[in-house]
Structure formats: C-alpha cells, structure tokens
Structure 1
Amino acid sequence: MNNDITAVEGIKVGHAENQDTGTGCSVILAEENFTIGAEVRGGAPGSREIALIDSRAAVDQANAVFLSGGSAYGLDAAGGVMKYLKEKNIGFETGGGVVPIVPAAVVYDLEYKTNHFPDQKMAYQACLQANSSKQKNKSIGAATGTTCGKISGINYASKTLLGHASIKIGNLIIGALAVVNAFGDIKNPDNGQIIAGAKNKNGDFLNTEKVILEKPKINLGFLRHNTTLIVITTNAILNKSEANRVSMMAHSALSRTIYPVHTLLDGDTIFTLASNKFKADTNQIGIAAAEVVKRAIISTAKIK
C-alpha cells in the first residue's frame, strides 16, 4: 500500500510545474463515485465550488480536486481539468451534457520566485500525468513555490515539500496529501521543536508564535498571504455531511503542527474524498484522518 492518498483505490494524482518561475499545480482525479466534503478555517481562502460542497447543496460527488499556486489567478487553471474530464465524458449529467465537478483551492506563491501562475494548459498537463503510483516527497505540483514561517518575509522562510501519509486500520484506509504554505512555523508535536519556519539572519528559527506574543504592538498586515491545503481520501462509506465532518475533525492536525494557524493571513482548507466501499465509524475516520494529516504536514518539512 502506498503511503499517500493513492492508497485508496480509484484515486489518481498528477502534477505539473515550472521550477524556473516557482509555481505549479496538482490534480486528484476521483474515478467512480467519490463523495466530497470540505472545511475552510483560514481567513483568506481562494477557492472554487466550495459552496457546492455544503451539506445543503444538491451535488454530493466530485470528479476531481484541484490545488494550484498563483493565488486567485490559479483558480482559472481549473478549467484545464474541466476540459480533460469533459473530453472523457466524465461529470454531472445534465440535459446539455456532462458538467465536471472540480472543487479547487489555491496557495499564494507569487513572491517565491516570480509572480507567474499556473494556467489551464498546465492543469491539463497535470491530468495527463495523473496515475496511482507512489507519490514523491518533493517540491513539485502545487508545492513548487510553497514556504512556511513568513513573519520576516519570504527571504527568511523555510521551503516546504509536497507531503504524504496514509494509515490502515483493519479494512479502513485513509490517505492525505498536504500543501503547506503557512504563515506560521511547523513544529514536531512529539517534542514541540520547530522543524521548518521563520529564520533570523543566522539561519536559526525565530519562533513566530513567541515573536507575536512578546511584541506589545504588532501589525501583520496582508503583505504575506499564505494557506495550507489538504486532500484526504478514504475507502469509507460517507455521505456529504459526514465527509464535511471528517474534514472538520482533521483540522485539529493543523493545530497540532502549525503555529500559529487559521489566521487572517491563511486560507486553510481540507477536502475529503470517500470512495464508499467500506462501512466504518465516522468518529474513528475523523480521528484517524487527523493523525494522517498530522503525519503528512510533518513530512513537508523534510528537506532533501
């Protein structure tokens, strides 16, 4: 079993990026009937089709989830995923043909190397690259331009990688993909040590949370936009309300690993895709999802 979201059968992942411009995108293709859920906790999200994921909305399944760099500009790139799925006649059936359901979210990487952003051609290329092989813990796809710890600016931030993890409990399988572009630092929850984050001129970690708590007057402004994006997959049977609940519970993993988190500078968003193959307790799924997300976030800090 792959130690990533492809551990769940029916999931394919593809990436495309431009290392020279420092941006990229990732697509998670969901074959067959995957229930979709999501939870947004950050104060500065950039997203598409999130309203459709609300438990009160009509559509309860997604054909793909798209993650992109480029801030709000990257949302337009999701059209490339739509084009790919339409060509394969995959989507919600309507009188005028299929309409692919592609929820999307973006990170702000416009200050990493350049202010370039993914376009529909790059997103289409990511779809062509999609497969179910073992995922790489590298600076690729939507994580091409991601960093964390930006209280002193991008030049003193730490580079993060595309993070992965999975867990198997009996027949229950849960996987996670993490794109961490956080304002705060990443800490190892086992010992509280910073493993990626803001640094001083000597290359030592500053401790963003401590800096904020010890400064009487501070104005963080909106010059440094961020965001952590997570996609969870599971083989469990979930309706949309339950998938939303799992996404909500999994946010506790961000609180265990990113300090500070869910700020007005972040757009933290978690998606859950369920293949509906195995019956499991929703509480157990949510608790396990939080553990998997925690591991995936920690893996983004393992610079190689």
Structure 2
Amino acid sequence: MDLQRDRPARAGRERVGRGRRVRRERRGAPASSARAGARSARARAGRRSVRRTAARRRREPQALITDVPGIRVGHATDLAGLTGVTVVLCDGPAVCGVELRGGANDVVGLDYLDPRHLVPTVNGVVLGGGSRFGGEAIWGVMRWLEAQGRGFAAGPTVVPHVPGAFLFDLGLGDSRARPTREMGYQAAASAAPGPVAEGNVGAGTGATVGKVHRIGRAMRGGIGSASSRLGDVVVGALVAVNAVGDVRDPDTGALIAGARESPDGHRLIDSARALTAGGVLERFAAPENTTIGVVATNARLSKPEAAKIASLGMLGFARALSPPHTAFDGDTLFALSVGDRPADLTRLGLVAAQGQPRFTSCGRGSESSRSAPPPARRRRARASGAR
C-alpha cells in the first residue's frame, strides 16, 4: 500500500469528520451561549445604527424647530448641578394645546390652554429640569416678557402666559440644584432663531434614559430638535428625552441608548423585554423620568386642533421610546400654532406623528452624551466643587 499516496485521502476524511463534530457541538451548544450571541449581534446592530444615524445627520442640512417662522429657542445650563431650562418663545401670540401621557407629569399653567379660558394665546413654553422645583424658572421668563411689553393686555399692564413641563434630574447631579428665576430670565433673553444647541444643555442637561435598574446602569439622554415640511407648512419640534425606557432607531428598531447590562459596561439590554420577563423597577427610581417637548407649526389652528396635533405627535413617541408612557413617566407634549397657513388637520397630524420619532431619537443628544452617567463620587465632587 502506498502510504504517501493515501495520506491526502485520509486528511480529507479527517477534515470532514472534524467539521461534522463541530456542527454537532454547535447544535448542542448551551442556550446561554446562543442568547449571548444574539445579544452581541443586537449590540453590533445598535452600534451600526448609531453610526448611520450620526452620518446621515452630518450629511443632511440641519432641520430645527426654529425653521418655523416666529419661533426662538434659548437655553440656560447649570453644569455644576447638572440641570437647566429651555425656553421656546413666539414672536407673536400663539395658540397652544397639550397632551399628557404616563402617570408622573410635572406641569404648570395648563389651565389657560382650555378652550373655555378667557386668555386665547400664550407667549411661549418652558421646558426644564428640577422636577416640580423647576417651575420657578417660569417666573423669570415672565419677568423678561413683561419687560418687553409682551403678554395679555390687562388694564394698565400686560400679563405673560407661559406654560411649562419639567423632568426629574435630581438624581444625577446636585439634588439641591434647580432651575431658578435667573436661569429662566437668562434663557428667555438668549432665545433666538437659527441654530439650536442640542445634547446635554438646557432642559436636557441632566436627562438620562434606561433606568429600569436605577441610575447606575442608565445612559445620558439629552435635548434635540428637528423639522418637516408639508408644502409651505413647517412642523418643528424640540424634545428633552429622560425616559425610564430605551431610545430606538425609528427606522430599524435598533437600540440607540438605554439600560446597560452592568454599571461599568456599555452593552445594552432591552428594557421592555426585561420588564415583561419580570424585571421590577425599584421604588426609588419610579419618579426619575419624563420626556417633554414642544411641536410648533406655522399652520393656523384652534385650541382643540392644537391639542389634537399634540396628541398625534405623542403617538410617535411610541416608535422611538421603549416602553413609552409608563406609570413612571410624565410624558408631556405641547403644540404651538404661530402662523396663518391653512392646513388639513389629518395631514398635519400625520406629519407630526411620523416625524416625532426622529425628533425623539435626536433628543438623546450628541454622540458624547451617550456615555454613562458619571459615578456618584464624581457627581458629588462636581457639585460641591462648583457651587
């Protein structure tokens, strides 16, 4: 027998045998390994989605709420306390509606959005951190508006009307830091058309997402803006994302930001799936959420129609936040009408609903804001060293 001539045949049979053993081993691999592989694949898909979204936003012309004629935006930011306030001001009186979802809303000044209220319009909307304490910033905005002679004519003076919504950021920075009257005044005075700062500024300074396992495994949220067009009608929005759940790419469904597997890791978990499987929100984390925003348009709307647009826009949150509108969220969306363009309410609502996920996903802020919240000791040092 020629051993040299038979060696290639034996080698081929051995390779085939090894391949069969590997396939059998793979078929018998533990389920945990398969799940780990699936998680790794989802994480890679999420990272690719983030890169594609960032690249697309760099290529596209920036679309902002200030594309709506007559809309101005200003921020005031407390980087030491990790809180802030954002003001959306209208050049003229604006019709306003609102939609509330979830079960933990902190809002001020909704009474004069009722169609039966004597005051027909508002001068702007305030978004801020500080939870219920953040409402103090509204007084600073009103003081600035009064100094400009803007508000509802009431005898010898004017009374500005500015509703607001506030998110819980007291667990990230200094819990004693809140938006103040001075910050409200500063944000109003700095409000301008044109470029809008996004990320961890203004109301998005202390925003976080993915808090099903408390703040230690969450990620930074942020504030973002975008706009869409329907002929000569413009619909823009500004959203501060501080959800208990995750942020997903509205086009692919991939996770963009949310809860992490461990405090020191960057691999994301599916918060909705974890909750469905029996993950329980710790009681302390319950109020630490809320996504708040403003939709503005130059279409002519009545108060009920503005409320309907806010309602339809809120439906779009469900495409970008997972899970949305939980009992631990105080999701609030205002709608402002600042123009006189005629528009079909259904078409306008569809634009608001379809565009809202884009506004929300960019509301997670800049790529730098996707980092984990700073450790507790660094948060304490930052707050005590700067205050």
- TM-score of the superposition, structure 1-length normalised? 0.96
Residues 64-117 of structure 1, C-alpha deviation per residue, up to 9 Å, x if partnerless?
100111000001121000100111111111125211000011000001111111
SS in 2 for 1:55: coil
Change (3 A) 1:69 1:219: closer
1:66 aligned partner: 126
Distance 1:283 1:176 in 2: 18
What residue number does 2:298 align with?
235
Residues paired across the two proteins, number = 303
Give 3-state SS (helix, strand or coil) of 1:227's partner.
Answer: coil
- Contact persistence 2:127–2:293 (CA under 8 A): no
Bigger mean CA deviation after superposition, 186-195 or 53-62:
53-62
SS at match of 1:82: helix
SS in 1 for 2:291: strand
Matched-pair contact (CA < 8 Å) for 1:230–1:293: no
For residue 145 of structure 1, the aligned residue among 194, 202, 206 is 206
Which residue is 2:6 aligned to? none
Aligned partners of 2:339 and 2:124: how far apart in 1? Answer: 16
* Structure 2: runs of 5 or more not aligned: 1-60, 369-387
Supply the distance in 2 between the matched residues of 1:261 and 1:244 (Cα, whole angstroms).
Answer: 19
Deviations 1:142-198 (A, max 9, x none): 000001010111121111221111011211101010100000101113222110101
The answer to which of 217-226 and 112-121 deviates more is: 217-226
Q: Please give the secondary structure, in 2, of the residue aligned with 1:210.
A: helix
Identity %: 35
Residues 181 and 227 in structure 1, CA contact (< 8 A), matched pair in contact too: yes
Alignment of 1:144-223 (within 5 A): 144-201=205-262, 202-215=265-278, 218=280, 220-221=282-283, 223=285
Structure 2 residue matching 1:30: 3-state secondary structure: strand
Q: Of the candidates 161, 165, 179, which is equivalent to residue 105 of structure 1?
A: 165
Q: Which has the higher helix share?
A: 2
Offset at residue 303 of structure 1 (A): 1.7
- Structure 1 contact 160–303 (Cα < 8 Å) conserved: no
Which has the higher mean CA deviation after the structures are superposed, 266-275 or 47-56? Answer: 47-56
Q: 1:219 to 1:27 in 2, by over 3 A?
A: closer
Equivalent position amino acid for 1:223 in 2: A
- TM-score, length basis structure 2: 0.76
- Does the Cα contact within 8 Å between 1:231 and 1:272 map onto a contact in 2? yes
Aligned to 1:132: 193
SS in structure 2 of the partner of residue 165 of structure 1 = strand
Q: Distance between the aligned counterparts of 1:276 and 1:124, measured in 2?
A: 26
CA separation of 1:141 and 1:214: change in aligned 2, threshold 3 A: same
Task: Tell me if the contact between 2:260 and 2:267 (Cα under 8 Å) persists in the aligned partners.
Answer: yes
Structure 1: distance between partners of 2:298 and 2:281: 44
In the aligned structure 2, how far is the partner of 1:254 from the partner of 1:81? 28
The answer to whether residue 83 in structure 2 is matched with residue 83 in structure 1 is no
What is the DSSP-based 3-state SS (H/G/I as helix, E as strand, rest coil) of the residue aligned with 1:251? helix
In structure 2, distance between residues paired with 1:282 and 1:59 = 23
Which deviates more, 51-60 or 285-294? Answer: 51-60
Residue 114 (1) aligns with residue 174 (2): yes
1:218 deviates by: 3.4
State the alpha-carbon separation in 1 of the partners of residues 225 and 353 from structure 2: 13
Instruction: Tell whether 2:342 aligns with 1:279.
Output: yes
The 8 Å contact of residues 82 and 100 in structure 1, kept in 2 or not, is answered as yes
Residue 57 (1) aligns with residue 121 (2): no
More RCO (CA 8 Å, sep 6+): 1
Shift of 1:138: 2.3
Q: Report the secondary structure of 1:249's partner residue.
A: helix
- Alpha-carbon contact 1:60-1:239 (below 8 Å) kept: no
**Contact in 2 for aligned 1:177/1:293 (Cα 8 Å):** no
Query: Equivalents in 1 of 2:313, 2:150: separation in Å?
Result: 29
Provide the aligned C-alpha RMSD in A.
1.5
Uncovered stretches (5+) of structure 1, i.e. residues with no partner:
none
- Per the alignment, residue 266 of structure 1 pairs with 329
Which residue type is aligned with residue 151 of structure 1? V
Query: What residue in structure 2 maps to residue 24 of structure 1?
Result: 84
CA apart distance, 1:203? 2.0
Q: Distance in 2 between matches of 1:157 and 1:205?
A: 9
C-alpha offsets along residues 253-292 of structure 1, whole Å, 9 cap, x if unaligned? 1111111111111110000111132001011111111222
SS in 2 for 1:76: helix
Is 1:254 aligned to residue 311 of structure 2? no
CA shift, 1:2, in A, is 5.6
CA contact (8 A) 1:23 1:118 kept: yes
Query: Which structure is larger by alpha-carbon Rg, 1 or 2?
Result: 2
